[in-house]
């Protein structure tokens, strides 16, 4: 799920769009609206929030029963049905509405993340490139264990630390010793982007793949805003991680377009990979 906020230069009017999958339910919607509404208030702008619902029932003309108390939000909240199923289609639909209104830049953010205070304000203050992103923080292990109702096993804790977000500092230090420092990558969960770039950054895919966004937009047109942070609940098993990648691949294969998976990248040698793995295990794994 992706939230999109349309913006001119402050203090001009802004439009907030929230693509929302119909199966997520009322609790997720209320939490997303509350967090976005708070961050929007820090921009000191007057903006409606448009909830763009998507899913098979919605595109067939049946909106799900979503119940919200509009009086609890500063912004005007409107719920409308989307025309497509995918994230990219939802974003494009809202971006087209922004273009009709003469809006040139949009904030894009997942519905199921926590945006830290002043995150949108930080992105907005550094909008000197077509694409501006935020730092992805890992959920504290205690939060994950609280939601699971049990402690993580050693393997789960290791995989969670290794694969979540832009990697904790201890992971980045180990990898950079062998591969050199790598530029920060834009995460599709929270970014500020020109409408023209937003329409092209999916590469024809139905999902907003971070790797595709970074490859198509390029480092010279992107930047990370210091002081802008968000947290996203991540996968803690290798099975979930692999299945997510397969879903992206199969969705592209079904449309007959695998160009996004055809890029050639320089790979490290098996010997270096073994050294990295050994040091990561020694650095990250904690004995229960």
First-residue to last-residue Cα distance in the chain: 35
Q: In the predicted model, is pLDDT for residue 250 greater than 90?
A: no
The count of residues in the chain is 288
User: What would the DSSP string read from start to end of 28-40?
Assistant: HHHHHHHHHHHHH
C-alpha closest to that of 165 among 201, 202, 134: 134
The top-scoring range by mean pLDDT among 116-130, 222-236, 261-275 is 116-130
C-alpha closest to that of 81 among 138, 20, 154: 20
Second-level CATH architecture of 15-286: Alpha-Beta Complex (3.90)
d(CA 159, CA 237): 6
When pLDDT is cut at 50, 70 and 90, the band that residue 228 belongs to is very high
Residue listed under structure tokens 């996203």: 232
d(CA 38, CA 151): 32
**Mean pLDDT in the chain?**
77
Residue ranges of domains in the chain = 15-286
Q: What 8-state DSSP symbol labels residue 207?
A: S
Q: Please tell me the least confidently modeled range out of 23-27, 65-69, 153-157.
A: 153-157
Higher-confidence position of 159 and 222: 222
Whole-prediction pTM: 0.72
pLDDT at 285: 65
pLDDT at 224: 93
Q: In the predicted model, is pLDDT for residue 218 greater than 60?
A: yes
Higher-confidence position of 1 and 46: 46
């Amino acid at each position: 799920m992706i939230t999109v906020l349309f913006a001119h230069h402050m203090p001009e009017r802004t439009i907030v769009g929230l693509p929302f999958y119909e199966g997520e339910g009322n609790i997720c919607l209320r939490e997303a609206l509350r967090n976005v509404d708070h961050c929007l208030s820090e921009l000191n702008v007057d903006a409606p929030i448009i909830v763009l619902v998507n899913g098979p029932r919605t595109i067939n003309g049946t909106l799900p029963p979503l119940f919200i108390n509009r009086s609890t939000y500063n912004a005007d909240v409107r719920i409308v049905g989307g025309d497509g199923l995918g994230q990219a289609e939802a974003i494009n639909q809202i971006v087209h509405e922004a273009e009709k209104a003469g809006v040139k830049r949009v904030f894009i953010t997942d519905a199921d993340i926590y945006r830290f205070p002043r995150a949108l304000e930080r992105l907005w203050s550094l909008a000197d490139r077509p694409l501006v992103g935020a730092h992805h923080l890992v959920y504290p292990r205690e939060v994950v264990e609280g939601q699971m109702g049990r402690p993580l096993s050693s393997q789960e804790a290791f995989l969670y630390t290794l694969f979540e977000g832009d990697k904790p500092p201890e992971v980045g230090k180990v990898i950079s010793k062998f591969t050199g420092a790598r530029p920060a990558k834009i995460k599709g969960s929270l970014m500020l982007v020109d409408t023209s770039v937003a329409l092209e950054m999916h590469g024809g895919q139905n999902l907003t793949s971070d790797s595709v966004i970074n490859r198509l937009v390029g480092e010279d047109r992107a930047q990370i805003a210091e002081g802008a942070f968000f947290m996203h609940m991540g996968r803690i098993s290798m099975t979930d991680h692999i299945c997510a990648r397969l879903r992206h691949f199969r969705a592209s294969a079904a449309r007959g377009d695998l160009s996004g998976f055809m890029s050639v990248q320089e790979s490290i040698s098996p010997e270096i990979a073994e050294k990295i793995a050994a040091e990561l295990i020694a650095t990250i794994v904690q004995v229960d």
